Structure 1
């Protein structure tokens, strides 16, 4: 069996970011940059006031008492540039450009204005309460690198430097093929020997939640001819195909045979991991990918989060080191560990005065979808780990 780390290495070896496309800024949310975004001018582009107050010369503040004549005002967005000479000052507001001659801003709370004159009750160092030109970034500086996912803050950065259109990587198109004669639609009445298809909706929701909406879904019978036909159809319009079920070694586990009959190259099948041991990964040609996820819901979701979702992130242009996000958290309770293979243990996260903690969530089997509903993710327990005491640092995958 393949170790999870080796399996992820194989996935990374065969995945490359998809083609570049151009999108308007308001349509790029959730996409990964395929270019460097640079500052088109110094940020801020001029010395600007950080507070409401008066723009003064620091040298004038040495006088006691300090009374200066107000010669005008500058508001944010105003082109006004009253020159501040010795003995003069200008009323100024937050975000306004500092007028020529001034080198300091005194807070309005430290002043009293009367009939065009202002008395200043405190001193200030030269440059106080001023955002200096270029202190955030100089013109031409790289602000966002290729591989950065566009979120709300990144959108703000792009807007600030005039990037109305972005070069990003195309997001992969995904097909979900759920196998099994026992599966029925969510709204169907079911007999004791039947199951409602929970894997399809759950996996589609997981993909959408993590930035890959719109996955197509189809139920497929446990027949090799049906599996092959469904795969051919999916590969015509999708970059990635996710199968659920049919991954083990039983009479009706026919997915691998169908894949190989259609020319797919199996890169691994079987992991030293619990749950999700029967997981499969295959490629077709140079740019299409197939993940065979186990049929049991916990196993399917685990394999999706450990391998399929990270692969989608890589195809979408995410840097390899950011494809499998994880946190290091202290355990809130002891965790029994059986060495031999990697275990993914359901866990929820709580916050208290000492920070976040991971609480193991008990599950009865790899089909225990109810337990998964109580969890925020999984603790990744190494294959060589012994029992872990409360307070031990563990890797938590959301």
Structure 2
């Protein structure tokens, strides 16, 4: 490993070597949630497209009430979706419904709570003083035709999808999902469906990574497991480097006799941009970025290390290449204690409860059982090790 760098330095190096996904595809609105927009959504007409009634009640000419009139015969009813009717005189009113077009000739809406209706006549409550223009959502007051409503690079969630639908954008253009090759290594690992021998364990972190990436719509994952064999690893990496947008390896990146990932990758891509971060867990993590090759994230093999490094670096990187910029990270008040070398940064599993983080430190980086019910990691300075934290603000990175 190289000299250890800080988590901030590792983040900056990764961010500086990521290129946005250039491929795009059109998807239906029903499939667009969580995808990253690659077109600006513009208003196809002024919004609202007409003077819109904002309250159930009656529409009048305001000047009539100013002259003292309180009783109005109901000349017609204007429901939402009806073509607009016209008020022909000051002595009558139009019954209106929320969302409907303001009748022609009206400039004031009086809410139903302020009137009584009897024998087709509406009477305005004594003492109530309506204002001209009240409860009317004027045409174009929200936006003009052609205005950009959603910028490119935005992750499409329900508010953005609502806007897209309102503008008739039924198949938005989004960033194509990157092709991710996930390679796990280790002779001790067998598939989850297999019965392990007494000297083996089932591999689990590949499942966790696949689930997180799929749930957040961050990429298409192809997975393979390799034995601790440098020739086999070299063959697989050469193929993956040609077909992938990004590679993720787990295990084989430390200094052990059978840790072949770093030597083989260095043979293929040259020296890593970094190999070793002053963090716990996940110190041996490495990152490669070579011209004309996809970026490579080499994560340690222990399950807690894999998930901590993925939350801190991999998932933000995928969002960056999809959205074109780094994503915002929340800082939240944190409670609890943890153990970490003071010169390191702790990446501590935590629960998010009512806007605060509760630290759930595992006993070691192989004890993934304690992660059940957690929501991500808190990035805590090592100088706070063994301190009882009370509302200390820390950065939060979710599991995906």
TM category, shorter = over 0.9
Distance change (3 Å), C-alpha of 1:214 and 1:171: closer
Aligned partners of 1:348 and 1:374 also within 8 Å: yes
CA distance in 2, matches of 1:349, 1:19: 35
CA distance in 2, matches of 1:38, 1:119: 43
Q: For this pair of structures, how many residues does the alignment match?
A: 391
1:397 matched to which residue of 2?
397
- In the TM superposition, what whole-angstrom CA distance separates every residue of 1:238-274 from its partner, at most 9, and x where no partner exists? 2111110000011100001111222355211111111
CA distance in 2, matches of 1:364, 1:384: 19
CA distance in 1, matches of 2:258, 2:119: 92
Of 117, 142, 150, which residue of structure 2 is paired with 1:144?
A: 150
CA distance in 2, matches of 1:357, 1:194: 38
2:104 matched to which residue of 1?
100
SS of match in other structure, 2:9: helix
State the TM-score, normalizing by the size of structure 2: 0.92
Distance change (3 Å), C-alpha of 1:292 and 1:190: same
Distance change (3 Å), C-alpha of 1:287 and 1:115: farther
1:215 Cα deviation (Å)? Answer: 1.1
Question: Quick check: 1:250 aligned with 2:262?
Answer: no
SS of match in other structure, 2:193: coil
- In the TM superposition, what whole-angstrom CA distance separates every residue of 1:263-297 from its partner, at most 9, and x where no partner exists? 35521111111111010111243351111010000
Question: Quick check: 1:71 aligned with 2:75?
Answer: yes
- In the TM superposition, what whole-angstrom CA distance separates every residue of 1:74-133 from its partner, at most 9, and x where no partner exists? 111111331353222111111001012211111123223334322121331112222122
SS of match in other structure, 2:36: coil
| Unaligned stretches of 5+ residues in structure 1 | none
CA distance in 2, matches of 1:219, 1:301: 18
Q: How is 1:111-130 mapped onto 2 (pairs within 5 angstroms)?
A: 111-121=115-125, 122-130=128-136
Q: How is 1:264-275 mapped onto 2 (pairs within 5 angstroms)?
A: 266-275=272-281
| Unaligned stretches of 5+ residues in structure 2 | none
2:177 matched to which residue of 1?
171
1:12 matched to which residue of 2?
15
1:337 Cα deviation (Å)? Answer: 6.1
* Superposition RMSD in Å: 2.0
Q: How is 1:79-90 mapped onto 2 (pairs within 5 angstroms)?
A: 79-90=83-94
CA distance in 1, matches of 2:254, 2:92: 84
CA distance in 1, matches of 2:365, 2:13: 25
CA distance in 2, matches of 1:9, 1:362: 26
Q: How is 1:154-233 mapped onto 2 (pairs within 5 angstroms)?
A: 154-212=160-218, 214-233=220-239
1:209 Cα deviation (Å)? Answer: 2.4
Distance change (3 Å), C-alpha of 1:55 and 1:168: same
Distance change (3 Å), C-alpha of 1:335 and 1:230: closer
SS of match in other structure, 1:59: helix
- In the TM superposition, what whole-angstrom CA distance separates every residue of 1:326-354 from its partner, at most 9, and x where no partner exists? 32222334556642011111211222xxx
1:302 matched to which residue of 2?
308
2:113 matched to which residue of 1?
109
SS of match in other structure, 1:95: coil
CA distance in 1, matches of 2:13, 2:103: 60
SS of match in other structure, 1:332: strand
1:305 Cα deviation (Å)? Answer: 1.2
Aligned partners of 1:339 and 1:383 also within 8 Å: yes
State the TM-score, normalizing by the size of structure 1: 0.92
CA distance in 2, matches of 1:77, 1:308: 49
